[in-house]
Amino acid sequence: MDTKPKMIKEYLDEQVPMTKLVKKYSYDFAKLKYLVKLYQMHGEKPFLEQDKRIYTHEEKLGAIKIVMSNQKSARQLALQKGMPSPHDEKDKNTHK
């Protein structure tokens, strides 16, 4: 099982405190909070289909317009759409 769903299930099902989980898995607290919210809103789907989802040009432009007009933060929009945190993506791109 991937670490992310495992941490979420430990937190929600076994009620292991987030502080213990971030130490146990050497994970960022804010990212874990985001993952829990994502799971609570969308279930396992974002974790199963994360790398398979392709966004259309229109979807991308729409998201950019929403963020640029300060209607929502990039993080809020990603959470609503069931996407990975934009901050995680930024970190991922810097490690290539």
Contact 79, 86 (CB under 8 A): no
- Which is it for the CA torsion 1, 15, 41, 67, positive or negative? negative
CA 56 to chain centre: 20
Q: What percent of the chain has pLDDT over 90?
A: 46
* Residue 85 pLDDT level (bands cut at 50, 70, 90): confident
Q: Is 83 exposed, middle or buried (0-12, 13-18, 19+ CB in 10 A)?
A: buried
Segment 66-85 mean pLDDT? 87
Question: Is residue 74 predicted with pLDDT exceeding 60?
Answer: yes
For position 18, what pLDDT does the model report? 97
- The predicted-structure confidence for 8-54, as pLDDT tens digits, reads as follows 999 999 999 999 999 999 999 999 999 999 999 989 888 876 556 77
What's the mean per-residue pLDDT of the chain?
84
